[in-house]
Chains A and B, each alone.
Chain A
């Protein structure tokens, strides 16, 4: 019996299994083709992003992954790395061309697994836009037992939405 169950158990997803960066992009934009695009924010763009996001924007250099289907832009993904407690996590924040959150997916989480946000909680970000309600006191419900994770994820969503606004929507 154990010969059967042991390989089966270990073949199931781990408690804290995370998708790779490529898998996360594919989950967010199924069937899309991707273009990696680098940006270096000007002082004015960085200031504008911070003002829109109401959170810090560390660094000026960043990468966006543009998703296209049949040549049409269907969305943009940003990988946002930030500190949770004392260690970092990296999220893919996938956005629609109109500036709505399509999906948030953790691809790296260095804190203990019990601080990770559950999938059902993360799904709250779907469809959210950059407005004052995108906060733990607004339309995002707090996460019991992982307050710092909840704050970090909400800040990341705001930061990526603001970057998208500045780099894609206002730059047109």
Chain B
């Protein structure tokens, strides 16, 4: 029944419409009028298409005159709000030498690791309030069977955009130090693995909870200054401050820290800057302050296929406070003075191509126990010299395959060379 009624209803409803469109030869527009009407419609549609394609309102009627620069016409972001998604990942194969620097045979050690899968998610609530986050799965992710993996929020913050020079950021944020901590997508750095200096002394990826300001200043300067929960010295060790990171997980915030950076870009391709972190790492709420201070100076030059990057960093921990720790406490072995630096050079051989083939070399020196508290024996294995040589191939800028050999030596003669192969991507 329904199937019979439907065409009938359609016919009845359509009848008046057809009646209205009955040709009226007396009022029929001329060919010129119809062409003009079609042109008008086509023009309106093309303008609409142009605006849709650009995601921005296109000039309304530019033929009508000159454009002003009235503030009222200004707008910020073409799309008022929206979701932004990105990510990166890397797979790493490591083949460690069977023999140590001193000739001791320890057997081979080969691993294939789904090192990272990272998803960025951002959301713009308004022109002035933007959310940004990074969720990371390391070593294949976490499960009860494989607890060695990790699923972690690396950052999740809100940006309150006020003006070009002064904006407020709050939440879980990356400590703005060095090169790698804030910018660690695999195609963005040379080497199958991150520089050892930026894993040990600037313990990337280093992220804590806090609030701060950031912006651009005149003279091609950019800055960030945050106050964050500090490190936890009870987790320090002879290998450095890395395990003292709290990663925002119910972070003990009895003692806060200041961190920041200033970068200067005098010319495109040239970057010179510095960063610092200083704060009390004694999170017990009692006892003397154990102030940890880290600073670095860094520079980069990129042009004509050449990329050169250098970084120097020093770390100090209050010697008296470290010395006052229990003699059996591994944290007492932390270096009260630490230093390190590296120089990295790469050159793209495929200058005329959109692909890239970049042989590179990186020389690193670091000592996480340059100075220690009285009574602590210095571990010579912390005084390291690494030379990494390899090649990176990028079929497109977002994908990199990197292979390198690292000669890893230390003062205790227990260094272990290794071959590394990495596949990385970002989107």
Chain B residues 273 to 315 lying within 8 A of chain A, measured CB to CB, are: 300, 302-305, 307
Residues on B with C-beta less than 8 A from A10 are 162-163
Main secondary structure of the interface of A (DSSP, over half): mixed
Residues on B with C-beta less than 8 A from A79 are 50, 54, 56, 58
> B161 contacts A23, CB within 8 Å?
no
Main secondary structure of the interface of B (DSSP, over half): loop
Whether B252 is near chain A, meaning CB under 8 Å from some CB there, is: no
A95 to chain B, nearest CB (A): 16
Chain A residues 21 to 60 lying within 8 A of chain B, measured CB to CB, are: 21-23, 25-27, 31-36, 38, 54
> B58 contacts A21, CB within 8 Å?
yes
> Interface digits, A118-137 against B, CB 8 Å rule (1 contact, 0 not)?
10110110000000100001
> B59 contacts A14, CB within 8 Å?
no
Residues on B with C-beta less than 8 A from A147 are 187-188, 397
Whether B1 is near chain A, meaning CB under 8 Å from some CB there, is: no
Whether A143 is near chain B, meaning CB under 8 Å from some CB there, is: yes
B225 to chain A, nearest CB (A): 15
Partner of B164, one of A12, A137, A148: A12
B221 to chain A, nearest CB (A): 10
> B132 contacts A112, CB within 8 Å?
yes
Tell me whether A15 and B79 are in contact in the complex, defined as CB-CB below 8 angstroms, given that A23-B73, A36-B59, A137-B304 are known contacts. Answer: no
The chain A residue sitting closest to B79, CB to CB, is A110
B41 to chain A, nearest CB (A): 14
B224 to chain A, nearest CB (A): 11
> A107 contacts B56, CB within 8 Å?
yes
Q: Which residues of B contact A (CB under 8 A)?
A: 46, 49-50, 53-60, 62-63, 65-69, 73-79, 82, 84-86, 122, 127-128, 130, 132, 159, 161-167, 182-183, 187-188, 215-216, 220, 265, 267-271, 300, 302-305, 307, 348, 350-352, 354, 356, 397-398, 426-427
Known: A81-B54, A141-B268. 15 other contacts (CB 8 A): A16-B161, A22-B62, A25-B62, A26-B67, A33-B66, A35-B63, A63-B58, A107-B78, A108-B79, A113-B159, A137-B305, A141-B267, A142-B269, A144-B271, A151-B397
